[in-house]
Amino acid sequence: MDIRKSFEGLSAWIHNQLKQNPMAPVLFVFRNKRADRIKCLYWDRNGFALWYKRLKKGTFKGPRGGEQELFITPQEVNLLIDGADISKLKRLRSLSFSDEF
């Protein structure tokens, strides 16, 4: 995946390769091979919005999907953008209400 693509190129890739609706209420996050740049595409009511970040030093660390899709939570996206290594996150077992008592 080449993140140099524009709105149209990214949305076409989402539709053709991922078989997803690019206008779905989803944030699509793309990372380049060197992992020093990310691009986020999302549909905002009446058009696509694009967000791009390039690091001066270091890399974005997280799960590598290659040409496949990976699902991460909004919290993980925030951590990724802030520079955290989300590939090393461990999720705690979620508790149900009955487990608390």
Q: Is residue 58 part of a domain?
A: yes
93 pLDDT higher than 80: no
Q: Is residue 1 part of a domain?
A: no
- Across the chain, mean pLDDT equals 84
For residues 18 and 1, is the Cβ–Cβ distance under 8 A?
A: no
Provide the domain limits for residue 51.
7-100
**Total of domains in the chain:** 1
Q: Is residue 35 part of a domain?
A: yes
CA-closest candidate to residue 22, choices 52, 49, 42, 47:
42
15 pLDDT higher than 80: yes
What pLDDT score does 92 carry? 67
pLDDT digits (tens, 9 = 90+) for 40-78: 999 999 999 999 999 999 998 876 666 566 788 888 888
State the pTM of this model.
Answer: 0.76
CA distance 35 to 65: 12
